[in-house]
Amino acid sequence: MLNQLDSAHQRERETSFFANPSQEFLADIPHQDIITKFWNCRILKKGRFLEEDLYVRNGKIIDSEELFYNEKKVPHFDVDCKGMYIAPGLIDLQINGGFGFDFSYYKDTELAVKTVAKRLLSHGVTAFCPTIVTSPNYIYHDILPKIKKTKGSGHGAAVLGVHAEGPFINKEKKGAHPEKFITDHRGTMLSIKEAYGSHGYENIAIITLAPELRHTDQIIRKLKKDGIVVSLGHTTANLTQSESAVKHGATFITHLFNAMLPFHHRDPGIVGLLSSDQIDLEKLYYGIISDGIHTHACALRMAHKVHPNGMVLITDALSALGLSDGRHTIGQMDIEIKNGVAYIAGTNTLCGSTSTMLDCVKFFHKSTGCSMAFALQCASWHPAKVLHIEKQKGTLEVGADADFIIINEYFDLFSTWVAGEMVHKTTNL
């Protein structure tokens, strides 16, 4: 027989959605032992939404059968989800800043990361990679040691490590990167460490490189050995150079279609990796800015049809995320927002997005006609796989971190949860 709560405790347990539980009821229960059941919901598992309950304890998703039949326990609290959808928290692998803060501006790094991490919770993002654009060495040496990996909490989304987007890229495809700071790694790890600094290197999760630079293959092998994900981007590489980089350990493509040679039928370039028969496509992922500005809906559909399991939605968002039109800064460069579109100031060159992850998910879903579940996986499970943390984040399987969002069928966010605690609730839904 299962342990039964008395009637008073039963009433306390059956709280309305997001009601505050009685502290008196919790007094004798260690916080890590509190069990919460989310019911009347549809849960994203194994690529589709299932009508199941979700059980959480000590910040982790737990097995209900193990709880009932072996531990002989019942939940302390029920959360009625009102028929809505529960999906893993969103993960952004490329975001330059937001809400007035730029991660590449060295004078307020800690405040920038803290503020953006907190504000991202209101957009369903529970983990992210702060992205640093091409910068002079002294900027890297100052900034990188300050951006340490963190666990998510009510104070902000988890920091998964820095995405160093440069400086080892091709000047011909510099985009918004300042050309005078773009450099060559010369095929040595000494050059890598000189650029990033020995104390900041350990905080890097992803490095974007141009594969056509000399001796890049050997650099990729060494970076992979250090546990760093190598992404290919800001490049004029042909298909052969791109395939060689993947064979040596590169597993990601930085904002597909942007800052690279366009597809050509005689040499499809880096875009051709999506259908290459010379590499293991199961290990290749690509970021794509699904904001309706950087990538046309037709291009989204093509990428989705050719290599759907490699698709990773990113924002490539700027300091202007959440701000109105006007002038702002990204790294060492001024940008201008016109009608919600970001340009290098004084030019018509796009330089990043002002869209949120949920905006990108919505546009991708609408453009491709894919399932709601798949669109959300491209912003959660797929990016987690890029960083090899798919058993911990981006999933609602037993044992994973209880980081998730509750949304309706239109992708409207109702609430965000980190480690089983509600960290944001939308009040106007």
How distant, in Å, are the alpha carbons of 253, 324, 344, 345, 353 from that of 341?
23, 10, 10, 12, 7
Instruction: For the chain, give the longest Cα–Cα distance.
Output: 74
Q: Is 351 labelled as part of a ligand binding site?
A: yes
Q: Is 205 labelled as part of a ligand binding site?
A: no
Task: Using the CB atoms, write b or e for 349-358: b if 16+ within 10 Å.
Answer: ebbbbbbbbb
Q: Is 19 labelled as part of a ligand binding site?
A: no
How distant, in Å, are the alpha carbons of 52, 137, 234, 296 from that of 41?
7, 50, 42, 34
8 Å CB contact between 183 and 167: yes
Q: Is 265 labelled as part of a ligand binding site?
A: no
Q: Is 352 labelled as part of a ligand binding site?
A: yes
Catalytic annotation present for 316: yes
Rounded CA-CA distance 426/201 in Å is 38
How distant, in Å, are the alpha carbons of 178, 259, 301, 338 from that of 346?
15, 19, 32, 11
Which of 102, 291, 316, 403 is catalytic? The answer is 316
Q: Is 336 labelled as part of a ligand binding site?
A: no
Q: Is 294 labelled as part of a ligand binding site?
A: yes
Q: Is 258 labelled as part of a ligand binding site?
A: yes
Q: Is 299 labelled as part of a ligand binding site?
A: no
Number of Cβ within 10 Å of residue 324's Cβ equals 8
Could you tell me which residues are annotated as the binding site for Zn(2+)?
A: 165, 234, 255
Could you tell me which residues are annotated as the binding site?
A: 165, 176, 234, 255, 258-259, 266, 294, 350-352
Catalytic residue list:
316
Could you tell me which residues are annotated as the binding site for substrate?
A: 176, 258-259, 266, 294, 350-352
